[in-house]
Structure 1
Amino acid sequence: MAVVTATNGATEANHAANGATAPNHAANGATGNGAPESGRDHVVIFPFMAKGHMLPLFHFATALSVHHRNLRVTLVTTPGNVAFARSRLPASVDLVVFPFPSLPPLPVGVESTDAVPCPSLHLTFLSATALLREPFADFLASLPSPPLALVSDFFLGFTHRVASDAGVRRIVFNGMSCFSSAICKALSASPPAGVEPGALFHVPGMPEHVVVTAEEVPYGVAKRANPDNPVTRFFVDEIGDSDVRSWGVLVNSFAALDKDYVPPLESFYQPGARAWLVGPLFLAAGDGEEERDPEGCLSWLDERAARPGSVVYVSFGTQAHVTDAQLDELARGLVQSGHPFLWAVRSDTWSPPVDVGPNGLIVRGWVPQRSVLAHKSVGGFMSHCGWNSVMESLAAGKPVLAWPMIAEQHLNARHVANIVGSGVRIGGEATTDVVGRAEVEEKVRKLMDAESEAGQRMRVRAASAQQAAMSAVSVGGTSSVALQKLVEELQRTYDGVVGKGTKCT
């Protein structure tokens, strides 16, 4: 029998999945004020075990807990992710912990994608998470009453059927913008054919200005038409139509950035499903989370505060693998650019082939990225363009040197550099070619030249996006209103519906 653990930061209780009561949330602000007529006042959040997927849902859980105190919030995770989650969530958010399934050849103890030792095991990791279906179903069955909603990741396709069987609305989250999500869905339905390498083509169903190249189409989308591809089989067998049959879509974005792409995205979902733009979620969550700085990044930046905007911040996230040859060229190009740089490197074995001097700081551990981007010494961000990093750069008003690597990052790079206009691109083709030091030097200088016409334009666009992001999460802003309406709409859907086990689609 599956056993789960529920924690709220102060107490811990084991709950056998046989109908045992859920944790007591009375101390979490659930006073009953404003409780829905349906009696549902509980939101369950189930992130996929990848840092870029977990963090925005941690922020969503925090925003719900802070701004809707009549709601109880529970987040589902696994033992290896408890410390990461607990350190970033308020005590008012409970944790329910399931043992991570064993699935050889995935090593024991690997419970998040950044810990997967080689790319060939990523599909095994995905398959292992699908084995959480039974304990999750047992957990929902053990609750004294059904939750108001389940918010779960796109990759956890099984959660849609489990929630439906329990009579719970499921809201899907995939960590992408409306722009990239709609493009991926459109091109999965109508794969591009006969497109010359590097040639731009219009994406069906999108506004006329949305053009991409075949090289920018994510690998998983490009291979979706091949039934023999293992990734395709996972999408068909484990995810199926669970995404598009969800009650709604949670989007970590805001209307000023993404509203033009909402109708195309919603068109792929069941009638009545809406995309709820409630971001940037880390801003919506407020200032409750204190970012750790074990490497001393902020004090190093403080030492360069006399030259505002002089430092390039470099980070490619936790997923993409960068070869030693590319790291070598990047190091030389950064040094040759003449700009101070703060560089987060994932590799524990690589050493720079050149002396970076006192104006180069290479760190291997955790970087407080939002605080770094907000620092006045930082003038630009060399980024892989994961969507969380794009949100953080825009919210900080900093231009981006977009260097996409995997997944939908090429689409994000096009969005931020070519449409928003707050960045410049490097390594634009999805190839394995090493970008040389000369191009790195050239593009860094272009990014950091605040006096040039292009540099001024990027900074004006970035500042405009920053203002829009801050406005979106303020009282009466589009994202703040969307979060309120999301909760209200969920509550209305259950009014007059009684009993447990009424299926929801």
Structure 2
Amino acid sequence: MRKEDKPHAALLASPGMGHLIPIMELGKRMVTHNDFHVTIFFIASDHASATSLVKSTTLENLDIIALPSVDISDLVGPNAQLVAKLFVIMRESLPSLRSSIAAMKFRPSALIVDLFGADAFDVAEEFGMLKYVFNTSNAWCLAVVFHSARIDDEFILEHHVKGQKSLEIPGCKSLSFRDTLESLRNIDRIDRPKFHGHKMTNSHGILINTWEDLESSTIEALRDNNLLGTLLLKVPIYPIGPLVRQDGNLVLDKQVKQWLDKQSIESVLYVSFGSGGTLSAKQMTELAWGLEQSQQKFIWVVRPPSNNALGTYFTISEGNVDGTPDYLPQGFFTRTKDIGMVIPMWAPQEQILSHPSVGGFLSHCGWNSTLESIMNGVPMIAWPLYAEQKMNAAMLTEDFEIAVRPTVSMTEEIVGRDEIEKMVRTIMVDKEGQAMKMRVKELKNSAEKALNKGGSSFNSLSQVAKDCMFHLQP
């Protein structure tokens, strides 16, 4: 099929790897499985991981365009919530998006944006494009976003925030205050972001990075006009996941691979807090001692400590005499040289999780990392830091039963070394951990079935492709 005859979709990603990775994977899947021509727009960044991801992605009929970065310093305060900043960045990027689409020889028939990009629907309407939302997280998070938008802020503040009572979500799992979204926890702040519910309900559909069997009751509630559907109207819901990063161009460092190859099957715990998450200095010390006390094999992607869970990017310091950075216990490298490996700053996560020696994942519970863990059949220690990660942790431990979680709030208290040791041994050694491994492998099989030809996610994305193809016809 000639390029001009293919359905052409434009995808717009908000800044951050949590949005860019699933947008990229959606684009690749639309090209390879649905015969699309896809153009991905993202906001230019000096973030090394984003740059590496874009440069490593080469596929015929997939174009990637970097929109220029925007200065929002005069539009939001320095302490504004992250999601509030994302909305402003996306809004200020619209002129660049409009001019880029206008310059295209073959203009897209559809625009797909993530939750922060619905302002771009004005551009889609200008060019006569179909409009879709891609929720890069799970269905439960989407249900909470939509339902909370229908509730009076004063009720949420008094009942949920001050009263710390659970928020009932019709047809779905209720949301405890312990696990609530940051935007709800800070609902009394002036800069509290408001998701564009009214614009999303005027879209042609909402795609979700989940699958029918994983969240069947929540997806049913999203489709039910008598429950959450009052806001959603009759917008189609398309579970199309799990879409996880699959990049054959990335390879494990030779030293890391050799070390993993020497370990027993499912004997290694992988420890990572995402592309930017960090811990406080005191918490890093406790984590180091907990790993050491467990005497279980581990690979730990280490970043210098920060009081901000979102993290900052530094270079690991020289440290003390055995090379241990000065923010880890003195002599940690020497004492753990036979059981552990520390990797500074970043590692190819998907390649590590897919290695047969890895049998557990201590994670910040970002949805991308959660799906990668499930797709590799690896149970988790849930250690959420920000955004919707506490909700993800609740699902993993309470609903799917494929993870353990500290008894204290990781963002408010220090998790002690003894509890860390206990969680590691639960996942890696105890019968409870073995049962979790069996359950997560069942979820892996369910996910693969959904993605395969004829599966629920395959069929959902195929329907979107048919709609776009129909829209092309005169």
Alpha-carbon displacement from aligned partner over 1:194-243 (angstroms, at most 9, x marks no partner): 46999774623124xx233212111112334x3x52133xx37xx46333
Q: CA RMSD in A?
A: 2.8
The match for 1:329 is 286
> 1:84 Cα shift?
2.9
CA spacing shift, 1:398–1:82, aligned 2, 3 Å: closer
Measure how far apart 1:411 and its partner are.
Answer: 0.8
Q: What's the offset of the Cα at 1:279?
A: 1.3
Q: 1: distance between equivalents of 2:123 and 2:200?
A: 13
Q: Distance in 2 between matches of 1:101 and 1:121?
A: 17
Distance 1:252 1:124 in 2: 23
Say whether 1:352 aligns with 2:328: yes
CA–CA separation in structure 2 for the residues paired with 1:361 and 1:45: 38
Mapped pair 1:300 → 2:272: no
User: Matches of 1:310 and 1:259 in 2, distance apart?
Assistant: 33
After TM superposition, give the deviation of residue 119 of structure 1 in Å: 6.8
Structure 2 equivalent of residue 272 of structure 1 = 234
| Superimposed CA distance per residue, residues 286-315 of structure 1 (whole angstroms, 9 cap, x where no aligned partner) | x663323347433321121xx211111111
Equivalent residue number for residue 92 of structure 1: 61
Cα distance in 2 between the residues matched to 1:87 and 1:64: 18
**Contact between 1:417 and 1:424, CA under 8 Å: does it hold in 2?**
yes
- Structure 2's unaligned 5+ residue stretches are 224-228, 305-315, 318-324
1:488 partnered with 2:447: no
Q: For 1:324-366, what per-residue CA distance to the aligned partner results, in whole angstroms no more than 9, with x for missing partners?
A: 1111110000100110111112323553215132311111243
Q: What's the offset of the Cα at 1:178?
A: 0.4
Shift of 1:400: 0.9
Q: 1:428 to 1:491 in 2, by over 3 A?
A: farther
- Aligned-partner residue type, residue 215 of structure 1: R
What's the CA shift for 1:146? 4.2
Aligned to 2:309: none
Report which stretch shifted further, 313-322 or 424-433: 424-433
1:31 CA drift (Å) = 5.4
| Identity fraction in percent | 25
Structure 1 residue 377 corresponds to structure 2 residue 338: no
Aligned partner of 1:436 in structure 2 is: 416
The answer to whether 1:251 aligns with 2:227 is no
CA distance in 2, matches of 1:366, 1:346: 8
1:90-489 → structure 2 map (5 Å cutoff): 90-104=59-73, 122=82, 123-124=84-85, 126-144=87-105, 146-190=107-151, 192=156, 193-194=158-159, 201=166, 203-207=168-172, 210-224=173-187, 226=188, 228-232=189-193, 235=194, 239=196, 241-266=198-223, 267=229, 270-282=232-244, 289-294=248-253, 296-304=255-263, 307-347=264-304, 348-349=316-317, 351-354=327-330, 355=332, 356-426=336-406, 428-429=408-409, 431-450=411-430, 452=431, 454-489=432-467
Name stretches of at least 5 consecutive residues in structure 1 with no aligned partner: 1-28, 107-117, 499-505
Report the secondary structure of 2:9's partner residue: strand
Q: How many residues align?
A: 435
> 1:51 — aligned with what?
17
The residue number in structure 1 matching 2:310 is none
- Following superposition, the deviation at residue 45 of structure 1 comes to 0.8
Q: Quick check: 1:186–1:203 contact (8 Å CA) kept in 2?
A: no
**Paired residue secondary structure (2:234):** coil
Distance apart, 1:144 and its partner CA? 4.4
Taking a change above 3 Å as real, the CA distance of residues 338 and 318 of structure 1, as seen in their structure-2 partners, is: same
Offset, 1:437: 0.7
1:184, 1:221 within 8 Å by CA — same for their partners in 2? no
Distance in 2 (alpha carbons) for counterparts of 1:290 and 1:243? 36
Corresponding residue for residue 63 of structure 1: 29
Taking structure 1 as the reference length, what is the TM-score of the superposition? Answer: 0.79
Structure 2 residue identity aligned to 1:221: L
Alpha-carbon distance change, 82 to 371 in structure 1, aligned in 2, over 3 angstroms = closer
Structure 2 contact 269–361 (Cα < 8 Å) conserved: yes
TM-score for the superposition, normalised by structure 2: 0.83
Give me the whole-angstrom Cα distance separating, in 2, the residues matched to 1:420 and 1:184.
22
8 Å CA contact 2:80, 2:191 repeated in 1: no
Q: How many Å apart are 1:125 and its aligned residue? A: 5.9
Segment of structure 1 superposing worse, 187-196 or 440-449: 187-196
